[in-house]
Chain A
Amino acid sequence: MTPETMTFNDWLPVIFIGIMGLAVLIYAVLDGYDLGVGILLPMQDEDELQRDTMIASIGPFWDANETWLVLAIGILLIAFPAALSQIMLSLYIPVAIMLIGLILRGVAFDFRAKAAVDHKLTWDRVFKGGSLLTTLSQGYMLGQYVMGFESGWQAQMFSLLSALGVTAAYSYIGAAWLVMKTESDLQKRAVQWTRKAGRATLLGVLAVSLINPLVNPGVFDRWFTYPLVMFVLLIPTLTFAGFVVNDRLLKRLPKENDRHCRVPFFLTVGIFLLCFSGLAFSFFPDIIPGELDIWAAASAPESLKFILVGAVIVVPLILAYTAFSYYVFWGKATELKYH
């Protein structure tokens, strides 16, 4: 199939994988930072005020952030039901564990504020534990996906590595979010967290980038084919540059008048975007690496068209009011009051 000979019906799966990719990317960035904030929660007695501020910084957003996961799964369900069945069969237990994690952190967020004071610390622990459980299982699933759902020990090791890598990445973006949204002592702490998590993330990204083409011959060929190699190698180069620049900048933060406090977060978003493009480039148009492509997995054109009409109208609207919400809550989280 070449672009010239493709009919509109052939393009539909491409459009939907695009929307799904967008949803996954937005999810990784948005829920990434709020899961990261949960993972970083300091648990000492004297940290209680900082915990309050950290959780207040994600308060207005976490719910909408998680909705992007529902949208991504929804599109997989709507547009590629065959792929969904296969993925869910392979990842049944990790999915269940991730859901438990999501449930725990979601309710802990509300319970911690409303339960009796003596239970608050317990719910904070639940919040941290739930965030970690969710992140680890998402990373594990990503590893399994890249390894084509194999169950051998190499695949398991790789998936564990990926679980740690995603945990580092979410901590990275979560810490950078805190640098942007907090002040004074907590901000200084967040700067240190960002640096450490950034280095751990770099290691994770390097490991995955090296192992992925080695175990997937198709991926190797795709990346290292002349002349494309000249162009696509920009992705890892820029990613690496992003890490280095961020690290250098963080060394000098916080600056006077809080200059550049937002830069680390947006640099991290850039790194997420690049890593995601790298993964997408490795596998497109396969939806299950090496087994199923998007055309074989797609559902009926009349269903895709029906939902596309809605998506074209509604997705920009969602983006618009999401932007409005971030505009309303712009600024430092210490001013936030859950009314």
Chain B
Amino acid sequence: MLDTLMLSRIQFAANSSFHILFPTITIALGWILFYFKLRHDQTDNPVWMRAYRFWVKVFALTFALGVVSGITMSFQFGTNWPGYMETVGNIAGPLLGYEVLTAFFLEATFLGIMLFGINRVPSKVHTFSAFIVAVGTTLSAFWILSLNSWMHTPTGFEMRDGVAHATSWLEVIFNPSFPYRFTHMLIASGLTAAFFVAGLSAYRILKGDHKQAPRLTLKTGLVIAAVLAPIQAYVGDLHGLNTLEHQPQKIAAMEGVWETERGAPLLLFAIPYEEQRTNHFEIAIPKLASLILTHDADGEIVGLNDFDGDHPPVRPIFFGFRLMVGMGLLMIAVAWTGCYFLRRRGELPEWMLKVVVGMTFSGWVATLAGWYVTEIGRQPWLVTGVLSTADAVTPLAAGNVGFSLALYLSIYVILMWAYVHTLRVMARKAVEVEEFETTTPQKEGTITNLPGAAEEGAA
């Protein structure tokens, strides 16, 4: 039987995993939309507007899922982790508060204008709203990643009577792992949105869409991915080095290093066995792990056995890390191949379109795998060295948590199905009908299949 701690951890993991999928898309998609709108303002080419109008609908749907799952998250701290707020509430509270104050209202209000205001505000105000929404999503990421990073590498505080008090807010916000984690996550969002846009556009083309807009967005997605993917590899490496400095046990688990050694090999594959404290079926490249992590082929990497059991579970981190890196390499390969075809032939062959469709949600896989590595890698701590996860959990009966967990899980399964299904319906519909019936976007041009315009658009 699962206890309250395990159930609460599963519930929080389920909530945050489900939640992060949507902001990961919208943070970067907001900027991509702003780019579409800006290009339209500059060139007056209606194709940009068509691209904008299709993707703004996708954005609205994705954003709504992010909002509702985010509200659930904000309640979780209080409902399941009272020890968290009691111990580090003085730090976590203001950071969360600034996220609500500076980001949430901004996004929500200007998204309303962006979605419904086309006939009511001048084009410039509309473009400005798209800009503000993008700024809002990014600000939101700034605050929440600052708090998350602080939980990994807490600085700028002192403990008084078992409660954390801030001594320097600058040190709290810009704690040592924050710049790396924030950059890594923003680029992850860029990659996720890029493959999402490219994948859905490729799907439209495969379904027989002869219009220009999906080709334009396919190209936009692939170019963004081709530029960001290698940068992400570099930033990820920097983030890893930062982790080695502050959380060496996490790196040891990622690399599957049990005994402290010099010239540690890079394990391409292995199955770690925690009871036997060894790996089986190793496929390794000699000395490469030391070279990557210490920039010295004979550099020393501290093994898991030197942490006296105070290290996270090894297997999920070991495999999660390989899944993330593998996904990243696949992204580079697909994005560059795609750009090569675009440059040589101006379009993708059918098999390549299928590959790009297959990569639509690749960003989700990599992002989740990465977050599992970093979050499980923090265990057994909730806030490194300050508060253990077990000490923060609610005293509620396991039955209550089991009940809410079952509710959330069933809702998430339904919603995920509905989301993917609806994206497909939207893409297929876009194959048949134009985003608006006039050649140039005019004030009265209505859009298909939306409240208030459902009937006109059905034709």
1/0 per residue, CB under 8 A from B, across A46-79: the answer is 0000001101100111011011011101111111
1/0 per residue, CB under 8 A from A, across B141-154: the answer is 00000000000000
- The answer to whether B418 touches A310, judged by C-beta atoms less than 8 angstroms apart, is no
Tell me, yes or no, whether A307 is within 8 Å of chain B by CB.
yes
Residues of A within 8 A of B387 (CB): none
- The answer to whether B112 touches A61, judged by C-beta atoms less than 8 angstroms apart, is yes
Among B74, B89, B450, the residue within 8 A (CB) of A338 is: B450
Residues of A within 8 A of B109 (CB): 64, 318, 321-322, 324-325
The count of A-to-B residue pairs whose CB atoms sit within 8 angstroms is: 243
Residues of B within 8 A of A6 (CB): none
- The answer to whether A64 touches B452, judged by C-beta atoms less than 8 angstroms apart, is no
Tell me, yes or no, whether B1 is within 8 Å of chain A by CB.
no
In the complex, how many angstroms separate the beta carbon of B380 from the nearest chain A beta carbon?
22
Tell me, yes or no, whether A1 is within 8 Å of chain B by CB.
no
Known pairs A113-B450, A114-B450, A306-B166; A314 contacts B102 (CB<8 A)? yes
A238 to B212 alpha-carbon distance, docked (Å)? 62
- The answer to whether A71 touches B75, judged by C-beta atoms less than 8 angstroms apart, is no
Tell me, yes or no, whether A213 is within 8 Å of chain B by CB.
no
Tell me, yes or no, whether B299 is within 8 Å of chain A by CB.
no
- The answer to whether A78 touches B89, judged by C-beta atoms less than 8 angstroms apart, is yes
Tell me, yes or no, whether B355 is within 8 Å of chain A by CB.
no
A113 to B110 alpha-carbon distance, docked (Å)? 20
- The answer to whether A115 touches B418, judged by C-beta atoms less than 8 angstroms apart, is yes
- The answer to whether B102 touches A339, judged by C-beta atoms less than 8 angstroms apart, is no
1/0 per residue, CB under 8 A from A, across B294-312: the answer is 0000000000000000000
- The answer to whether B61 touches A85, judged by C-beta atoms less than 8 angstroms apart, is no
Known pairs A69-B71, A85-B78, A113-B451; A100 contacts B121 (CB<8 A)? no
1/0 per residue, CB under 8 A from A, across B424-454: the answer is 0110000000000000000000110111111
From B96, which residue of chain A is reached at the shortest CB distance? A74
- The answer to whether B78 touches A88, judged by C-beta atoms less than 8 angstroms apart, is yes
- The answer to whether A103 touches B90, judged by C-beta atoms less than 8 angstroms apart, is no
Tell me, yes or no, whether B403 is within 8 Å of chain A by CB.
yes
- The answer to whether B72 touches A99, judged by C-beta atoms less than 8 angstroms apart, is yes
- We find that the number of chain A residues with CB closer than 8 angstroms to chain B is 72
Tell me, yes or no, whether B329 is within 8 Å of chain A by CB.
no
- The answer to whether A59 touches B396, judged by C-beta atoms less than 8 angstroms apart, is no
From A85, which residue of chain B is reached at the shortest CB distance? B82
Tell me, yes or no, whether A82 is within 8 Å of chain B by CB.
yes
- The answer to whether A300 touches B165, judged by C-beta atoms less than 8 angstroms apart, is yes
- The answer to whether A306 touches B169, judged by C-beta atoms less than 8 angstroms apart, is yes
Q: Chain A: residues with CB nearer than 8 A to chain B?
A: 52-53, 55-56, 59-61, 63-64, 66-67, 69-71, 73-79, 81-82, 84-85, 87-89, 92-93, 95-97, 99-100, 102-104, 106-107, 109-117, 299-300, 302-303, 306-307, 310-311, 314-315, 318, 321-322, 324-325, 328-329, 334-339
10 additional contacts (CB under 8 A) given A85-B82, A97-B407: A56-B452, A78-B93, A93-B400, A96-B404, A302-B165, A303-B90, A311-B101, A336-B452, A338-B116, A338-B447
